[in-house]
Amino acid sequence: MGMSAAATRYLLTIYQLSGEGAPVRSVDISRALGVSPASVVHMMGVLSQEGLVSKRHYGRVQLTGEGIWAANQLYTKCMLLESFLAEELEVDERVARRDAIACLCSLSEESIERIVRRVLPDNTVILRAVGE
């Protein structure tokens, strides 16, 4: 996908806060990530240029169709990495969640794909969707 670690974190956060794709307040993004409102404004500009979010009145941000697809792909990979860390390596669940996001932002697609295959060796349908 070629997305920066910061953009990945923002996109995952918006996806999780939005539930069913509802608009999210910029202040909620700021609080969830522990960043300044100015940082949120900057990153929303970046994600908007990529066609992943649209900014609405009063600081509300909403994922576009492309943004939902991209965030879903990231979220699926993140959950699989978290599962691998928690179940295979017996890492504490909270640590596994944090580390899964860090891995998603740092590991190569090849490494992530190999971990996904290890977690879901027989599920080729999900693998194709996640690996796209």
* Strand residues in 26-70 grouped as ranges (E): 53-55, 60-63
Give residue-wise pLDDT tens across range 8-53.
999 999 999 998 779 999 999 999 999 999 999 999 999 999 999 9
Q: Output b/e per residue, 95-107; b: 16+ Cβ within 10 A.
A: ebbebbbebbbee
98 to each of 13, 34, 52, 94, 125, how far by Cα in Å? 12, 14, 23, 6, 27
Both tokens of residue 117? 């295959």
My answer on whether 58 and 73 are in the same domain is no
pTM for the full predicted model: 0.81
My answer on whether 60 and 74 are in the same domain is no
Quick check: helix, strand or coil at residue 102?
Answer: helix
- Tell me how far apart the alpha carbons of residues 113 and 16 are, in angstroms, rounded to a whole number: 22
My answer on whether 78 and 29 are in the same domain is no
Structural domain harbouring 117: 69-131
My answer on whether 51 and 101 are in the same domain is no
Q: How many domains does the chain have?
A: 2
Give residue-wise pLDDT tens across range 109-130.
888 888 877 777 665 444 444 4
My answer on whether 57 and 95 are in the same domain is no
Q: For 85, which DSSP code?
A: I
Q: What is the pLDDT of residue 132?
A: 43
